[in-house]
Structures are given as structure tokens and as C-alpha cells.
Amino acid sequence: MIAGIHPFASSSAGIYPFASSSNEKFANVTVPGWGWPLLIGVIAAALLVDLLVFHRKAHVVEIREAAIESAIWIGLGLAFTGVIAAMFAGQGQAGQAAVEYISAYLIEKSLSVDNVFVWAIIFAHFAVPRQYQHRTLFWGIFGALVFRFIFILVGTAVINRFKILLLVFGLFLIYTGWKIISGKDKDTNPNDTATMKLFRRFVPSVDHYDGQKMFTRVNGKRFATPLLAVLVIIEVTDVIFAVDSVPAVLAVSREQFIVFASNAWAILGLRALYFLLSDMRERFVYMPHTISALLIYVGAKMALAWRGFHIPVALSLAIIVTFLVSGVVASVVANKRKGYTKPHN
């Protein structure tokens, strides 16, 4: 077991998983015994409703449907700010916890836009029919939640134990932001990745699709369909993105419950966001600049925290919102000058 990680640490509120080792500059809270079960239960219920009610049958998700679902997911994510505030109000931490949650949510949501565009490249490369993409992303999101849970668990523990990692992660985020803005962070061919080479070497596969199935049978033998390869690549890319996004979120909160909740709600809405934005990458001309600025800022914030200089989370939230609004407005203005029109179904 990694030092500082207690799967079932006790508190004055009872027994709950993954107790936070709090930092005096961040929310100092005790997660109630019902906190984690509530969060995991709500996430599981949302996933089941989405899969079994709205997307039970494979179909092409049109822009109108994607826009409505995106609004619902974003609304749920923002509404959970109230749950966070109510949960810790009795501990006098309602405001601090709520600001940390919404700051972490906005950072994760903005950084996830790159995830959406990478998915578009992967689906296009493997010519995945649009009606099968949602089910693939469902399992991709499920895996992402598991991996993020592990990353956050380990990340908070090692940062609380080894403060020098604040500097290491901070410099890494600054470097990543510089790579994006300098154009050194280019897309690669999915077939050229080590992941695909290993997959093809060890997993018997066919080149044709069989509906939404990950496996099919040919002459009585079981083979993986291209959807399984796509799912594996999506999971690997999410792990890579998590290396950037988790340290960035830890710059504004160290409470594992708050960090995971913000990540979960941001990730849950990515499928709808993908169908809304996948064909509009060229219209977000200033999004790379926005992401770069966010990474450089949170990297600098984290590096400065190593020397004891703490930027208030409320001020960080204002800076994050300013970056996001500026990026969107600048992109809209640029699109009008280029004469882009609204997409049609």
C-alpha cells in the first residue's frame, strides 16, 4: 500500500473511503459516511439511465440531441456544486469546498475538449459508423472514471507526502502548455502507436464490424472487432490526458472527494460534447491557446505553492473563467470574420 493511502480511513463522521489528508490552504473537510456511496450511486444511476433509456438502441446522434444532452450533463455537473456546499456547510467549509469543486470542474471540462477532438480522429481513422460510436464511448467513459479514481487517489497521497512534486508537476504542466501553443503537440496516426502494434500482435482480430459487438465469431472462432481496438486506444489516450489534467485539478483542490466528483461530472458529459463538437474543431481556433494558458497558469500556481505562495482558489476561479470566456469569444469573432455558418443536421 502506498504511504498516505487509506482505503477505509476512519473519521469523526464514521467510516468512509479515501479520507483526505487536507492542506491548510485548501478545504479542510471530513467526508460524511454517506458521501462516497451517494456520489458513486448517482454516477452509476446516470450512466444506466443514459445507456438503457436514451441510447438503448444504436442510432446516429444528431446535433440537436447532442446539444440537449450536453446541456443536461453540464447542468448536473454545475448543480452538484450545491451538493458540495450543503455537504460541508456544517463544517464551515461550504464556500471554500464549492469554489474548489467548480474550479476543478471547469479546468477538467476545458482540458477535455482536446479529448473530444482526438476521439474524432480515432473514429474517422477506423471508419467507425456513427450509430456505434456512443456505445464505444460509454465503455470508454466507464474505464476513464476508474483510471481517474486511481490517479486522483495516488496523486493526492504522493503530493501530500512529497511536497517537491508540486514543483515537478507544476513545471510539467508549464512545459505541456508550451508544447501546445508552440505546435509541438501534433496528432499521430492511431495505427502507428505502440498500443495498436501490441494489440494486433496479441489479440486475434477481424477488419469488419459486427454491429456494436466488441467480439464476433468467424468459423466458430472468436475474434475482436475494430471496436475493441478503438476502445483500447480511447482508454490509453485518456490515461495520457489524465497525466496533464489530474495534476492541473490538484492545483485547486486536494480533497479527493471534491477532485473525483469534479472529474466524474466533467467526463460524464464528454460523449454528448463529442457529438456536438467533433466536426467543429476548425471553428475553435483559439481553444489551443486557451488550454495552453490554463495549463501554464495552473502549473505556475502549483510550482509557487511549493514555496508556500498560495493563490486563493476564488481568484483562481476568476482567472480560469476569464481564460475560457476569452477563448470562446475570440473564436466566435474569428469565425464571423471567416464567414462560418451554423451546422445543419
- In 162-307, which ranges are continuous DSSP H helix? 164-182, 194-202, 226-249, 256-268, 270-277, 287-306
> Is 157:19 a contact under the CB 8 Å cutoff?
no
- Quick check: 119 pLDDT over 90? no
**What are residue 14's phi and psi, to 5 degrees?**
120, -150
pLDDT grade for 333, boundaries at 50, 70 and 90: confident
Query: End-to-end distance of the chain based on CA atoms, in angstroms?
Result: 52
At 137-180, the pLDDT tens digits run: 888 888 888 888 888 888 877 777 777 877 887 788 788 778 77
Backbone angles phi, psi at 62, to 5 degrees: -85, 170
**Is the pLDDT assigned to residue 9 strictly greater than 60?**
no
pLDDT for residue 39: 93
Q: What is the pLDDT of residue 97?
A: 93
pLDDT at 193: 65
Residue-level pLDDT at 204: 83
Question: Per-residue pLDDT tens for 313-324?
Answer: 778 778 878 887
Q: What is the pLDDT of residue 188?
A: 56
d(CA 78, CA 320): 15
- The three-class DSSP label of residue 205 is strand
Place of cell 464549492: 98
Q: Is the pLDDT of residue 226 over 50?
A: yes
Task: Spell out the SS3 assignment of 208-241.
Answer: CCCCCCCEEEECCEEEECHHHHHHHHHHHHHHHH
State the residue for C-alpha cell 464514521. Answer: 14
Read off the pLDDT of residues 253-312 as tens digits, 9 standing for 90 and up. Answer: 889 999 999 999 998 888 888 887 765 666 677 777 887 888 888 788 878 877 777 777
Does 6 or 269 have the greater pLDDT score?
269
Residue-averaged pLDDT of the chain = 79
- C-alpha torsion angle, residues 85, 75, 235, 129 (rounded to 10): 170
Q: Report the interhelical angle of 270-277 vs 130-161 (nearest 10°).
A: 130
Distance CA 265, CA 148 (A): 12
Question: Nine-digit cell at 274?
Answer: 463529442
Residue 14: its pLDDT value, please? 35
For residues 75-103, give the mean pLDDT. 92
Amino acid, single-letter form, for residue 161: R
For residue 246, what pLDDT is reported? 82
User: Binning pLDDT at 50, 70 and 90, where does residue 339 land?
Assistant: low
Q: How confident is the model at residue 340 (pLDDT cuts 50, 70, 90)?
A: low
The conformation of residue 55, written as its DSSP 8-state character, comes to S
Angle at 148 between CA 174 and CA 46, to 5 degrees: 130
**Above 50 in pLDDT, residue 208?**
yes
**What pLDDT shows up at residue 186?**
56
Residue scoring higher pLDDT (166 or 11): 166
Give how far Cα 173 sits from Cα of 165, 300, 302, Å: 12, 8, 9
**Nearest in space to 297 (alpha carbons), one of 320, 269, 324:** 320
Confidence of residue 189 (pLDDT cuts 50, 70, 90): low
Count of CB atoms situated within 10 Å of the CB of 54: 16
> Which band of pLDDT confidence, cut at 50, 70 and 90, is reported for residue 28?
confident
Extents of the domains making up the chain: 10-160+183-279
Identity of the amino acid at 49:
V
187 vs 44, which has greater pLDDT? 44
* Distance (Å, whole) CA 54 – CA 43: 16
pLDDT band at 89 (very low <50, low <70, confident <90, very high): very high
